[in-house]
Amino acid sequence: MDNTNSTICEVVTSLRGGIKINVHGYLMVKDKNRNNKYYWYCEQRDALQCKGRATTILNGEQHYLQDTSDHNHAPEASRFDIVKSINTMKEKARETDDQPAQIIQNAISSTSSSQEVYTYLPSNEALRKSIIEFVALIFLQNHSLYGISLFLKT
């Protein structure tokens, strides 16, 4: 198999532990895999009835793009940054003693499209809540209940 001309797709882990990849700015959700061949569908499949799909070949740790189909909408590069920043928050919550509010602040300001993340976070209540709940849960595991009650008031 010759993968020399293939694009390597960046991988992110979603909030629920699923795998997503970035294919030309489109976030794709794992559908299934057969051995090292992975099948992906567009994250906007249900929301926009998008039929965008992709297949990749997993070689070592990397997904090589093999085939992709058209989408019925523009790519959302900033969504990818948002998912990445969420992962950063999750890691920081596990690894540091920082306050959750501080973790969220740092993660947002370090993304390449920080302005977009800023405007995105407050407007998407479900996503905002899931981030805060996750970071708060990790914080609870590491700290006292008093700490978390302080955080939830801010």
User: Closest separation between CB of residue 78 and Zn ion, Å?
Assistant: 15
Of 69, 56, 68, the closest CA to residue 19 belongs to: 56
| Stretch of residues binding Zn ion (CB under 5 A), selected from 65-73, 80-88, 113-121, 140-148 | 65-73
Concatenating the DSSP letter of every residue in 122-144 gives HH-HHHHHHHHHHHHHHHHHHS-
Should residue 41 be labelled a site residue for Zn ion when binding is judged by CB under 5 A? no
* Rounded Cα–Cα distance for residues 114 and 31 (Å): 30
Binding mask 67-106 toward Zn ion (x if CB under 5 A, else -) reads ----x-----------------------------------
Should residue 42 be labelled a site residue for Zn ion when binding is judged by CB under 5 A? yes
CA atoms within 13 A on the CB side of 148: 15
Should residue 50 be labelled a site residue for Zn ion when binding is judged by CB under 5 A? yes
User: Closest separation between CB of residue 112 and Zn ion, Å?
Assistant: 22
CB 139 within 8 A of CB 89: no
Binding site for Zn ion (CB under 5 A): 42, 44, 50, 52, 71
